[in-house]
Amino acid sequence: MVELGKNKPLFGINRWKKNPLRFVPVDDESFTLCVDKKRLLYKGRRRSHRFTILNDGAFEYDCILLKEPESNVITLRMEGAELYDFFRQPDFVPDDFLKGSYAVYKKETLIGEGTGKLCHIHRPLIIDSRGRKVWGELAVIGNVLNITIPEWWLASAKYPVTVDPTIGTITVGKQTKGPDPNNSGYDRPWLDSEYTLNKFLVPENGESGICRAYVYTYYDDVSGGIKPLLYSNRNNNTPFQRMSKNEKIIDVTVWPQQGYYEGWRNNTFELNKNMTAGSYVWFGLFDGWFTTKYDYGGECYKTWFDEDDEDFDDYPPSIINIKSWDTFCNIKWSIYFTYTAITSQNYVRTLTQGINLTDTRTLKAEYNRNLSQTTQVMIHEI
């Protein structure tokens, strides 16, 4: 859900009914609200703010500079920022739209809160009235988001100037290409007879039983199936003892001609011991040839299985002994799993890294018009 202020040009994203993240432009002038089919425009004297709902689970916030600004930095105050991690995406990624962008994840995902990824703040494109374009730069400092316009470009700009970062609300990882920490010759992180694990916090006690693993598949050059894995955490924050058993193969084939499309796939595994609230676990997957979408951020372990190790009595191993060739990196895969929490009632607890929401949303505003959209927008008296 995207929340827009009725009297002030602010916007918020609220995926879990509480703990929204709100972006508030730092302005001291009054505005006039104008509404059309898919936009809300807050018209000011020196600058205006425009919100546009897109069709792909995203929206654009445009700051329109009507006159030369006092500073080349546009500042947005973020209310609720202390509840989220802002993972800056590296400059080496090939997509200019994603360089220096931010993947926003909730610091602690609670029961019913889905994936844990709130949104993705893309790199802003800045355009003047002559059509001249330049990329702006994003920086998160505490509870403030700064958008910096190059001074050399702004010096010769013709007004109005539009600054338009896109906020993507789809929660699958945005990255598809980048260096593989184990295989320098690949153009994206692969599992090449390898396994990979992400670190998660356990918020509710989990009992031994059936779990369901999910993984996002999108690339057509992959093998047919992957195996989910779960390990406990050593005191030095490395994966340790295997906690999963009877892992079922997840079919990740992408072949549209045969009806296998990009999307989420799942299958089950079992816990061989209870999980304790407040502890950490490492969840991931093993495969001979597979890749999935991801963000940079979080903690990731990636390596090959060593079947010759005398401690490996089964496959996957019951205990992971860290080797010199093992890799620790900051890849956050589009994977997650669910398990049954031990409470007085029956709940399903979700540990997630990325998922696309499939429920229907409706665009709502107080001007007697309803439009079917991917994102729900509500106007609030603020």
**Which has more pLDDT, 196 or 339?**
196
Domain containing residue 268: 194-351
Q: pLDDT at position 82, please? A: 93
Q: By the 8 A CB rule, do 163 and 126 touch?
A: yes
- Looking at the predicted structure, is the pLDDT value of residue 298 above 80? yes
- Here the tokens at position 121 are 């703040």
Same domain as 345, residue 365: no
Task: Assess if residue 137 is contained within a domain.
Answer: yes
Q: By the 8 A CB rule, do 305 and 317 touch?
A: yes
**Which has more pLDDT, 18 or 57?**
18
Same domain as 242, residue 161: no
**Which has more pLDDT, 312 or 227?**
227
- Looking at the predicted structure, is the pLDDT value of residue 319 above 80? yes
Same domain as 313, residue 207: yes
Q: pLDDT at position 240, please? A: 95
Q: pLDDT at position 42, please? A: 85
Task: Assess if residue 238 is contained within a domain.
Answer: yes
Once rounded to an integer, what is the mean pLDDT over residues 345-358?
46
Same domain as 307, residue 199: yes
Same domain as 287, residue 219: yes
Q: By the 8 A CB rule, do 361 and 123 touch?
A: no
Once rounded to an integer, what is the mean pLDDT over residues 225-239?
92
- As beta bridge partners, residue 339 has 349
Same domain as 156, residue 227: no
- Looking at the predicted structure, is the pLDDT value of residue 255 above 60? yes
Same domain as 228, residue 110: no
What is the band of 382 on the pLDDT scale with cuts at 50, 70, 90? very low
**Which has more pLDDT, 382 or 6?**
6
The Cα–Cα gap between 149 and 115 comes to 33
Residue the block writes with tokens 């107080």: 366
Same domain as 229, residue 118: no
Cα of first residue to Cα of last residue in the chain, in angstroms, is 17
Once rounded to an integer, what is the mean pLDDT over residues 109-129?
80
Same domain as 345, residue 230: yes
Q: pLDDT at position 344, please? A: 43
Same domain as 154, residue 8: yes
Task: Assess if residue 182 is contained within a domain.
Answer: no
Same domain as 48, residue 148: yes
What is the band of 313 on the pLDDT scale with cuts at 50, 70, 90? very low
Q: What is the mean pLDDT of the chain?
A: 81
- Looking at the predicted structure, is the pLDDT value of residue 138 above 80? yes
Phi, psi of 256 (to 5 degrees): -55, -35
Task: Assess if residue 186 is contained within a domain.
Answer: no
**Which has more pLDDT, 376 or 299?**
299
Same domain as 371, residue 324: no
- Looking at the predicted structure, is the pLDDT value of residue 289 above 70? yes
Q: pLDDT at position 288, please? A: 84
Task: Assess if residue 159 is contained within a domain.
Answer: yes
> Mean pLDDT highest for which of 35-39, 338-342, 369-373?
338-342
- Looking at the predicted structure, is the pLDDT value of residue 337 above 60? yes
How many domains is the chain partitioned into structurally? 2
- Looking at the predicted structure, is the pLDDT value of residue 37 above 80? no
Once rounded to an integer, what is the mean pLDDT over residues 2-23?
78
Long-range contacts of 378-381, Cβ-Cβ distance < 8 Å, separation of 24 or more: 378/1, 378/2, 378/3, 378/4, 379/4, 379/5, 379/6, 379/40, 380/3, 380/4, 380/5, 380/6, 381/6, 381/7
Task: Assess if residue 232 is contained within a domain.
Answer: yes
Q: pLDDT at position 232, please? A: 94
The Cα–Cα gap between 219 and 24 comes to 38
**Which has more pLDDT, 26 or 79?**
79
> Mean pLDDT highest for which of 28-42, 288-302, 361-375?
288-302
Task: Assess if residue 163 is contained within a domain.
Answer: yes
Q: pLDDT at position 40, please? A: 82
**Which has more pLDDT, 311 or 188?**
188
Q: By the 8 A CB rule, do 294 and 175 touch?
A: yes
**Which has more pLDDT, 41 or 216?**
216
Q: pLDDT at position 141, please? A: 94
Q: pLDDT at position 373, please? A: 36
Task: Assess if residue 331 is contained within a domain.
Answer: yes
